[in-house]
Amino acid sequence: MLEALNLSKRFGGLAAVQDVSLSVPRGSITALIGPNGAGKTTLFHLLSGFLASDSGKVSLEGRDITGLSPHAICRLGMTRTFQIVQPFAAQTVRENIAVGAHLHHRGRREAIAAAEDVARRVGLHAQLDKPASSLTIAGRKRLELARALATRPRLLLLDEVLAGLNPQEINEVLPVVRAIRDGGVTVLMIEHVMQAVMNLCEHVWVLSNGRLIAQGSPREIAAHPGVIEAYLGHGTAERLLKAAAHA
Amino acid sequence: MRQLAAITAFAAAVALLPAVTSSGVVLNIAIMTLYAALLGQAWNILAGFGGQFSFGHAVFFGTGAYAAAVLQARFGWNAWAALPAALALGAAVGGFIGALSFRYGLRGSYFALVTLAFAEVFRILANNVQFTGAGVGLMVKLDPGAARFQFADKAGYLHVILAFVVVGLLVSWWLKHSRYGAWLQAVRDNEDSAAALGVNVFAVKLQAIMLSGALTAAAGVFYVQYFQYIDPSLAYGPAVSVEALLGPIIGGLGTVWGPILGAAVLHLLGEATRGLVSSLPGVNLIAYGVLLVLMIMFLPRGIIGLVKCSRP
């Protein structure tokens, strides 16, 4: 569905993303994880066209989308949400979602109807008339999701939709994400909430210092010594193993 | 639909004004208020709906005014024929400035400064080239007749400027109820989000500045017919740029009625201060300044915002 081939991006002396290749299968939920500063969001920027890569290629459903602008990529069926939520604060929830819906609906009435439909799917329908600025953080995350869904994507990049939510809110959003996938939308998510990654994802990529250091099923990743070291520091995996042997 | 009914009612009420009074002073105030409202409506498209604050709308106004004056005085065009040419030129100048500044991602005060600089450059150019009459300015021959966009009485001018303002109202209404308007307001509120949702941010902003430029040029054409004279500082001086932005800011940014409300308040205030303190010319400008500061401090959403807040 989505293929990245040898993507690299440098910011001056910092190699934010180095030689990353990944392939997202159609109809899957996959995750991109890694410690803070690993380059996950930069990689999302490269995939979605918000940043131009220094080298490498991105293709969506076999079509080369390297260097296309974000709105062109959205029209081709891939969109994203932002880690720091970016609502159109001066507008109501309904108007916010309608902006996304307008991608496929020229008429205002159709776009509004489509927006209300999407709001129901993500559980925002009670708040349609509220200004976006009055939503709680959980509501704003749902709004990001709803706006992106309203563009009817085939592939959705979610940048930490669960960050900042309490456990109960996370449990409410998980089924929403699963339902999105069941509705035929492929999902690639950046996520720190491991409970969600373990629950939802079929495949996980681990990024550390701009490089992919591991990939596999969530269970394999959790036991991968390189991943443990990336999160907990050098030599940790060995110490943990020793401790386990002694016990 | 309620808005459209309100627009119709407004148009009918103003159109009947000459039937109620034949006072030239009253009609002149009405004409100048509508003219300021038109400038405000044009500016509001780009700044109120699109979030791109221009401080140099005189560049579009002057271009429209000079286009009409040059075509009429030098080439003997009919003023009505010069109108579409002036609108097209206003849009073209908007496209040029927009393409340059939006291409390089100028926002906020940087965009405002660039528009201000363009207005100054155009003023200096108009001061120095011959076909605009240089510093002397251009006179348009007085020859009243509706077919020539000139009227012996003020009622004719009132009806023409009212027609322009109604067009401005309809454009603003359309921005509130259309896909393009939704995209423009999305760009105003957050460009990155808009782009992620498939909005071509550059194209949307470019179209907004062209539309705004064309409507501002219409005010320039009207000015030339009403006063039969234009010179570089009238056309491209900062006074017009300020006039364009005061009304919408005071009335309510990004609203349909804000520019008209703001223009009305400012002009009535201007007349009142002029009447009270006639010994001090320019005291109305001080009043404008004080009002603007108070508005920004206490009513950032304008008078319309106050009305909306007071309703449950």
Q: What's A192's domain CATH number?
A: 3.40.50.300
Inside any domain, residue A73: yes
Sheet containing A55-60: give its strands across. Answer: A14-24, A2-11, A55-60, A63-64
Inside any domain, residue A228: no
**Chain B nearest-CA residue for A75:** B198
Give the per-residue pLDDT at A246.
Answer: 82
Instruction: Please say whether the dihedral angle defined by the alpha carbons of residues B48, B53, B58 and B64, taken in this order, is positive or negative.
Output: negative
In a mutagenesis test of the B interface, which of A86, A96, A99 is the best target, namely the one with the most B β-carbons within 10 Å? A99
Q: Pseudo-torsion of CA B192, B193, B199, B202, nearest 10°? A: -20
Give the per-residue pLDDT at B303.
Answer: 85
HSE toward the beta carbon, residue A124, CA cutoff 13 A: 35
* Average pLDDT taken over every residue of chain A: 91
Q: Are B182 and A50 a contacting pair at CB < 8 A? A: no
Distance from CA of A68 to the nearest CA of B (A): 12
CA gap A105, A148 in Å, rounded: 14
**Chain B nearest-CA residue for A94:** B182
The tokens of A63 are what?
A: 């079509």
Give the per-residue pLDDT at B310.
Answer: 56
Phi-psi region of B83 (alpha: psi -120 to 50; beta: other; left: phi over 0): alpha
- Contact between A34 and A208 (Cβ < 8 Å): yes
Q: Are A147 and B197 a contacting pair at CB < 8 A? A: yes
Q: Which residues of chain A lie closer than 8 angstroms to B201, CB-CB?
A: 71
**Chain A nearest-CA residue for B203:** A71
Q: Are A71 and B199 a contacting pair at CB < 8 A? A: yes
Q: Which residues of chain B lie closer than 8 angstroms to A151, CB-CB?
A: 197-198
Q: Which residues of chain A lie closer than 8 angstroms to B179, CB-CB?
A: 102, 105-108, 111
Measured CA angle at A69 (ends A66, A71), to 5 deg? 130
Give the per-residue pLDDT at A193.
Answer: 86
Q: Are A103 and B198 a contacting pair at CB < 8 A? A: yes
Residue-number span of the structural domain to which A28 is assigned: 2-218
The full DSSP string for B58-81 is HHHHHHHHHHHHHHHHTT---HHH
Higher pLDDT, B139 or A116: A116
- B2 at A interface, C-beta within 8 A: no
Q: Report in angstroms the alpha-carbon separations of A125 from A94, A114, A115, A150, B179.
A: 9, 12, 9, 14, 22
- B182 at A interface, C-beta within 8 A: yes
Q: Which residues of chain A lie closer than 8 angstroms to B254, CB-CB?
A: 90
Distance of CA B162 to the CA centre of its chain: 13
Tell me the domain boundaries of chain B: 2-237
Say which range, A77-86, A176-185, B129-138, has the weakest mean pLDDT. Answer: B129-138
ipTM, interface predicted TM-score of the complex: 0.89
| Pairing, β A203-208 against β A155-159 | unpaired
- B193 at A interface, C-beta within 8 A: yes
Contacts of A206 (CB under 8 A, 6+ apart): A33, A34, A212, A213, A214, A215, A221, A224, A226, A227, A230
Inside any domain, residue A145: yes
Inside any domain, residue A159: yes
CA gap B63, B131 in Å, rounded: 13
| pLDDT values of chain B reduced to their tens digit, one per residue, 312 residues | 788 999 999 999 999 998 888 888 899 999 999 999 999 999 999 999 999 999 999 999 999 999 999 999 889 889 899 999 999 999 999 999 999 999 988 888 999 999 999 999 999 999 998 888 887 888 888 888 787 888 888 889 999 999 999 999 999 999 999 999 999 999 999 999 999 999 999 999 999 999 999 999 999 999 999 999 999 999 999 999 999 999 999 999 999 999 999 999 988 888 887 777 767 777 777 887 888 888 888 888 888 887 766 553
Measured CB to CB, residues of chain A less than 8 Å from chain B are: 48, 50, 69-71, 74-75, 79-82, 86-91, 95, 98-100, 102-103, 105-108, 111, 147-148, 150-151
Q: How many domains does chain A have?
A: 1
Q: Report in angstroms the alpha-carbon separations of A74 from A101, A167, B261.
A: 12, 31, 40
Give the per-residue pLDDT at B312.
Answer: 39
3-state DSSP assignment of residue B201: helix
Q: Which residues of chain A lie closer than 8 angstroms to B185, CB-CB?
A: 88, 90-91, 95
**Out of A50, A90, A98, closest to residue B189 by CB:** A90
Q: Are A88 and B200 a contacting pair at CB < 8 A? A: no
Inside any domain, residue A235: no
Q: Are A151 and B197 a contacting pair at CB < 8 A? A: yes
The whole-model pTM stands at 0.90
- Contact between B237 and B124 (Cβ < 8 Å): no
**Chain A nearest-CA residue for B49:** A90
The tokens of A84 are what?
A: 């720091």
